[in-house]
């Protein structure tokens, strides 16, 4: 067999395998999709099949007409944008110095942070409430942004510090020898090299904020202040009359922006190192 034939057989098998993996990953999602499109008002049904026989989009329409989804969407976007930006703004410099400077207390802080991170956050609710009420930030977005940024700060610091560690110092030193200033060094050399890690961190923060409902529900009051996840949660929590298809439709709709962002971000998670010309 020639290499080409073997390759093409191999890739066909691989594609098949990937398609299978995606199907598995999407199974519950397909289920939700099917429920959201079905004309009968049911999450469960004896007559259920993955491919609905009677397709209707009225549940999707209902999401938009019956609930202030666009307001929730705007709230989610605001929170997400601010949280991601602030998270990166505080975590990138911190991760950089924690990676590059061998200052006193560095190791201890890193080790303690990861231990503290293991404290279950549900148990922190009361304390965080005390914190926000002292600052007068109950029922306000800045309050939530502080909570979200702080929650993800340990992750951001650790994750990006780890990545910076893998970037050889030589690149920076060489640039410096070439007369590269500090600003240029960071914006032209370090940041591009760290791009994959920055994007992964941003994605993590984004997903966290987008899907977080516990803090949002506890610290915000009134439907007009909710985020999408919080709104969706109330849709389900007060579920008495039963509108599962609307709930399923809403769940899928709120995942969509994240997926689009993932898809667009794919090509940016390219290798920083190989782009920089140094082999890891």
Q: Does 4 bind other proteins (CB under 8 A)?
A: no
Handedness of CA 193, 195, 196, 197 (dihedral sign): positive
Kindly state the tokens that stand for 95: 């991760």
Which positions from 133 through 152 interact with other proteins, judged by CB under 8 A? 133-140, 142-143, 145-147, 149-151
The neighbour count for residue 67, using CB atoms within 10 Å, is 19
In the block, tokens 């994750």 appear at 159
Q: Which is nearer to other proteins, 41 or 56 (CB)?
A: 41
Paired with 38 in beta bridges are 55
Report how far residue 163's alpha carbon sits from residue 65's, in angstroms, rounded to the nearest whole number: 45
Q: Which is nearer to other proteins, 177 or 183 (CB)?
A: 183
Longest pairwise C-alpha distance within the chain: 74
| CB of 158 vs other proteins, minimal distance in Å | 4
Q: Does 115 bind other proteins (CB under 8 A)?
A: yes
Of residues 57, 181, 188, 192, which one binds other proteins by CB under 8 A? 181
On whether the CB atoms of residues 82 and 211 are closer than 8 A, the answer is no
Whole-Å CA distances, 206 to 30, 80, 99, 127, 250 = 24, 6, 24, 24, 19
Q: Which is nearer to other proteins, 61 or 268 (CB)?
A: 268
Which positions from 39 through 98 interact with other proteins, judged by CB under 8 A? 40-48, 50, 86, 89-94, 96-98
| Site stretch for other proteins (CB under 8 A), options 54-62, 70-78, 206-214 | 206-214
Q: Which is nearer to other proteins, 61 or 142 (CB)?
A: 142
Which positions from 241 through 280 interact with other proteins, judged by CB under 8 A? 241-242, 244, 251, 254-256, 258-259, 262-263, 266-267, 269-274, 279-280
Which positions from 223 through 242 interact with other proteins, judged by CB under 8 A? 223, 229-230, 232-234, 236-238, 240-242
Report how far residue 155's alpha carbon sits from residue 202's, in angstroms, rounded to the nearest whole number: 11
Q: Classify 55 as helix, strand or coil.
A: strand
Report how far residue 243's alpha carbon sits from residue 237's, in angstroms, rounded to the nearest whole number: 12
Q: Which is nearer to other proteins, 57 or 221 (CB)?
A: 221
Of residues 37, 69, 76, 155, which one binds other proteins by CB under 8 A? 155
On whether the CB atoms of residues 94 and 157 are closer than 8 A, the answer is yes
| Site stretch for other proteins (CB under 8 A), options 55-63, 69-77, 105-113 | 105-113
């Amino acid at each position: 067999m020639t290499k080409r034939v073997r390759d093409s057989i191999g890739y066909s098998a691989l594609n098949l395998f990937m398609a299978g993996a995606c199907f598995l990953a999407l199974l519950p999602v397909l289920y939700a999709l099917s429920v959201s499109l079905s004309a009968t008002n049911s999450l469960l049904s004896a007559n259920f099949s993955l491919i609905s026989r009677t397709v209707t989009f009225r549940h999707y329409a209902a999401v938009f007409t019956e609930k202030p989804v666009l307001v929730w969407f705007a709230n989610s976007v605001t929170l997400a944008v601010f949280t991601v930006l602030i998270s990166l703004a505080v975590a990138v410099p911190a991760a950089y110095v924690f990676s590059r400077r061998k200052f006193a207390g560095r190791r201890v802080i890193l080790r303690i942070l990861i231990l503290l991170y293991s404290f279950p956050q549900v148990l922190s609710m009361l304390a965080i409430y005390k914190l926000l009420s002292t600052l007068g930030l109950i029922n306000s977005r800045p309050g939530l942004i502080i909570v979200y940024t702080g929650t993800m700060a340990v992750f951001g610091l650790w994750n990006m510090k780890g990545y910076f560690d893998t970037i050889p110092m030589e690149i920076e030193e060489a640039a410096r020898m070439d007369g590269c200033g500090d600003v240029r060094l960071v914006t032209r050399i370090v940041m591009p090299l760290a791009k994959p890690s920055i994007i992964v961190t941003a994605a993590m923060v984004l997903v966290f904020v987008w899907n977080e409902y516990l803090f949002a529900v506890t610290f915000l009051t009134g439907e007009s202040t909710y985020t999408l996840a919080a709104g969706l949660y109330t849709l389900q929590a007060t579920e008495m009359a039963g509108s599962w298809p609307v709930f399923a439709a809403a769940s899928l709709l709120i995942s969509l922006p994240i997926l689009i962002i993932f898809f667009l971000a794919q090509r940016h998670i390219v290798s920083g190192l190989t782009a920089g010309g140094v082999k890891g």
